[in-house]
Structure 1
Amino acid sequence: MTGIYQINDAPVPNWTPPPVPDATTILTGQYATLEPLVADTHAALLYQPFVGHDHVWDFLPYGPFSSSAQYYRWIREIEMGEGTQFYAIKNHTSGAFEGVASFLRIAPEAGSIEVGHINFSPALQKTRAATEALYLMMGWAFEAGYRRFEWKCNAMNAGSRRAAQRLGFSYEGVFRQAAVVKGRNRDTAWFAAIDAEWPALKEAFGVWLNPANFDAQGRQNESLADMTRLVRVADDPTLAGS
């Protein structure tokens, strides 16, 4: 779907800023559990699924890490920082921690929050657990009272752009020369979903994640991208036909 967004200046009566996610928030679903990232608990377990897969760090401002000790030190720095809440993602099928994601650019006063630092090991990619992990984060944000849930990525990262659109984020454009990352220019593609879209997105995720949506070989019957197409107000033009 490609649409034209109508500028909205409607009143927001009785606005109350939502809470900030903290290190006590655990998100649990059918296929995945997200635990606040803790170096002592998760570093060694998370390091292993990424060994030999350095390409998964290509679009992140850090990594790859040459040892579990180096990865541990990075997580310790994250723990001591402020403004970002990282989660370790456990895949219920394997019973292993296989990925990381975070809330960042958390602005309760504006009702805006972003999902980012998404790094799924090959074992987690293209699984129901991977989709559900991001659904759980989206659900927490909107049900806590946030009005806007953002996704931003390197404009060169076609996989991330495709994932954002599949999950129901609407395309909002590209910020040119937004940053310098690992010595290279980064143009940043912006996507977002808003609270008015959440009920329809929640329904789409519920249908897709239902075990009945998959056959005996694990193949989907209904495509999530097809269902979220009805909700998105604008699609990424670079993904046309994909």
Structure 2
Amino acid sequence: MNSKSNFYFPVPGILESGRVQLTPFSTSAHANLFIEQSLLYPQIFDYLPFGPFKDTNDFIDSFIATRIDPDPGYILFAVWDKTKSNGAEGNGAFAGLIGLINTSKVNLSTEIGCVMILPPFQRTHVTSNAVGLLLKYALNLPAVQPGALGLRRVVWQANVMNAASIRTAERMQFRREGTLRWDRLLPEHKSHLGAGNGKKVRDGDPRSACVGRDTALLGLCWDDWEDGARDKVEAIIGRLR
């Protein structure tokens, strides 16, 4: 199903909890499914530096083929809510996408990113379970969880204006480490969304139509994980409501 095969580390066929399942993203199986839903909810891209996409071809050509597939530090997963009616793969309702990005095999680090949970599944168990499953996959040692990577650090970056994303990260035991000022600029078509840092650029700026983004940087490291964060994440995943 033309799933990505060049990720730095072995990718499990399934990561799952009692209520959520993650499966590696496949263009043939998931691209149309994601675009059909994301066209209904373009707001999921408001704080992201990419999207919305006009159709499946745009999504594949401008995102998957250029940003995800060529980079061995990136891997996407389809997110399924097992508590809902069967979806396209019979493993629950399709709830969105999530990924590991900026992965470093040398430094044993990765980042949870490309978090695109569809609005009907937001403020439910879906996001916390999906994030928790990736944390366990990244930070557990293989002796604790077969197939886990035993990494030392997981990063979470969020637009400082995206308070919900920062709250999610902190709930999942990430620690705020700082703010990256003027970290990046947003595409011109997002300048009206209130996602910028609210600061004017100087006269003569070569891309003055693009607002700047300040980025909140959060991290969760192996010693945090071993010193209680894993237990708290497991408790969140294990809740029935």
- Tell whether the structures are fold-level matches, with TM greater than 0.5: yes
Deviation at 1:165, TM superposition (A): 0.9
* CA apart distance, 1:70: 2.7
Normalised to the residue count of structure 2, the TM-score between the two structures is 0.74
The 8 Å contact of residues 132 and 234 in structure 2, kept in 1 or not, is answered as no
Matches within 5 A, 1:203-242: 203-211=231-239, 214=241
Give the gaps of 5 or more residues in structure 2. 1-6, 85-91, 141-148, 188-209
Once residues 102 and 22 of structure 2 are traced to their aligned partners in structure 1, the CA distance between those partners, rounded to angstroms, is 19
Whether the aligned pair in 2 keeps the contact of 1:43 and 1:75 (CA below 8 Å) is no
Deviations 1:211-235 (A, max 9, x none): 4x53xxxxxxxxxxxxxxxxxxxxx
Of the candidates 80, 87, 92, which is equivalent to residue 82 of structure 2? 92
Q: 1:186 is matched by which residue type in structure 2?
A: R
RMSD of aligned C-alpha atoms? Answer: 2.0
- What is the letter of the counterpart of residue 201 of structure 1? A
Unaligned runs of 5+ in 1: 1-18, 215-242
Instruction: Tell me, yes or no, if the aligned pair for 2:18 and 2:238 is still in contact at 8 Å.
Output: no
Contact 2:97 2:115 in 1 (8 A): yes
Residues 180 and 79 of structure 1: CA distance in aligned 2, closer, same or farther (over 3 Å):
closer
Residue type at the aligned position of 1:161: I
Deviation at 1:114, TM superposition (A): 0.8
Pair 1:166 & 2:194 matched: no
1:132 maps to which residue? 129
CA distance in 2, matches of 1:79, 1:191: 22
CA contact (8 A) 2:97 2:114 kept: yes
Label 1:184 to 1:75 Cα distance change in 2 as closer, same or farther (>3 A). Answer: same
Does residue 185 in structure 1 map to residue 185 in structure 2? no
Could you tell me how far 1:76 is from its partner in structure 2? 4.2
Aligned length: 195
Cα distance in 1 for residues equivalent to 2:238 and 2:134:
18
Q: Deviations over 1:42-79 (max 9, x none)?
A: 01222233233211101112111222343344434455
Aligned to 2:15: 27
Q: 1:35, CA displacement in angstroms?
A: 1.4
Q: Which whole-Å CA distance do the structure 1 matches of 2:103 and 2:15 have between them?
A: 18
> What is the percent sequence identity of the aligned residues?
26
Q: 1:88 to 1:43 in 2, by over 3 A?
A: same
Give a deviation string over 1:115-156, Cα, whole Å, max 9, x none.
111111102212212211100101111122111111011112
Measured in 2, the distance between the counterparts of 1:106 and 1:72 equals: 21
Q: Does 1:145 align with 2:150?
A: yes
**Higher relative contact order at CA 8 Å, sep ≥6: structure 1 or structure 2?**
1
Alpha-carbon distance in structure 2 between the residues aligned to 1:99 and 1:22:
22
1:43 — aligned with what? 31
- The separation in 2 between residues aligned to 1:123 and 1:63, in whole angstroms, is 19
Answer whether contact 2:22 2:78 (CA < 8 A) is retained. yes
- Quick one: distance in 2 between partners of 1:65 and 1:152? 22
Find the counterpart in structure 2 of residue 9 from structure 1: none
Specify whether residues 204 and 24 from structure 1 end up closer, same or farther in structure 2 by C-alpha distance, changes over 3 A only.
Answer: closer
2:109 corresponds to which of 112, 131, 136: 112
- Aligned with 2:70 (options 69, 81, 86): 81
Structure 1 runs (4+) greater than 6 angstroms displaced: none
- For residues 165 and 9 of structure 2, what CA distance do their matches in structure 1 show? 23
